[in-house]
Amino acid sequence: MKKITRALCLVFALVMALSLVSCGGDTSYITTFHDQKIPAGVYLYQLVTATQSAYSKVEDSSKDVLKQDVDGQDAAIWIEQTAQQEMKRYLAVEKEFEDLGLTLDSDAQNAVTAQVNSEWNNYGEWYEKNGISKDSLTLVVQNLAKKQQVFLYYYDEGGPEAVSDDDLKAYFSDNYVKVKYLGVSWDTSKTGDELTAAKEEAKAKADGYLARAKNGESMDRLIQEYSNEQRTVSAKEGEEVKTTDPSEVEEDTYATVLSKEGGSSFGEQFAERMNAMSAGDIEVVEGTSKYYVLAKYDILAKEEDFTSRRITLLQNMKAEEYEQKLDNVVGEMNITLNEDALNRYTAKKIK
């Protein structure tokens, strides 16, 4: 009897051992780079980011993204494939950064530390719920800093594929507009004749500001004047209202640079007229809940408007090309992602 019991125990132990080997693979890492294991938390960060991106692409972002399609594909599959591709690009950045002999200077390192601390202070608990440690977050933010350095190596001044300022300015002018706008709202809760009257009142007020702007008054000062008025009207009885003297407002305080596709959130007419107007034009256009006094300016007239946005413009202009460059590097690498980790950490696990 003892022999049988001992034999059964040995069989049971063997079964358990096989079970642990087949079902309990190491899921603490997602891949390796130079024999160094990259924690699974880095991949989980990519899953979280891909999930957020998916919400911006689905038909109804108020509903569960996993019950919808993204670009004609099941959302969970899209999220996981996107996260896996970003994980591979992560490794491509590490390789390029190393091969090009780049380094993060003390300022860059301090910026990484500051960003990680800020993110962790605000969202640390949420990151931990999704399996992302502070160390994993640090690796992600460091990689993003390296990604920026590699990008600038190729496309910034002096780089092998540098973009000239003339080309960047042409891109700026072709894809963006500089405007100032003053929005006079109406009560959208009204209906019928009351709504018509409310819109007419708002239109008349906007027309008044338009006349003053066309007569040479500063748009920045007019916008500040209207802002002061709205603060006063909406203040509770006895509440101190903080306002700014319009005469003290500097030029371009309220200037906005929008992409030529970026006006749609203000309403169809705003977007259409924003692009069709010439520099120097001022009009009243109807938005979704406001009449806008819209003024357009020469986007290249002030050098500072360009220089202050130069790196952002460069990134926008070359973003797709750079991603393809990284994908080409991925294709040259022998990257293997940990299947056990991929099977464990799925889109459905993101909280």
Domains of the chain (ranges, CATH numbers)? 24-162+311-349 (no CATH), 171-304 (3.10.50.40)
Tell me the C-alpha distance between 27 and 30, whole Å.
Answer: 7
Q: How far from chain centre, in Å, is Cα 172? A: 19
Neighbours of 237 (CB within 10 A): 4
The amino acid sitting at 157 is E
What is the pTM assigned to this prediction?
Answer: 0.85
Supply the pLDDT for residue 193. 96
Contact 178, 297 (CB under 8 A): yes
Q: Give per-residue pLDDT as tens, 47-77.
A: 999 999 999 999 999 999 999 999 999 999 9
Residue 147: name the closest of 322, 335, 333, 321 by CA: 322
| pLDDT of 262 | 86
Distance between alpha carbon 121 and the CA centroid of its chain, in Å?
Answer: 20
H/E run at residue 293: strand 290-297
Q: Which of 164, 147, 128 is nearest to 41 (CA)?
A: 128
Instruction: Assess contact for 222 and 212: CB atoms under 8 A.
Output: yes
Residue 28 DSSP symbol: S
Residue 308, Cβ neighbours under 10 Å: how many? 11
Looking at residues 236-240, what average pLDDT do you find? 83
Q: With 90 as the cut, is the pLDDT of residue 236 above it?
A: no
Residue 12 host element (H or E):
helix 2-23
Which pLDDT value is given to residue 24? 62
pLDDT surpassing 50 at residue 142: yes
User: What's the CA gap between 69 and 117, in Å, rounded?
Assistant: 35
DSSP 256: E
Q: What is the mean pLDDT of the chain?
A: 93
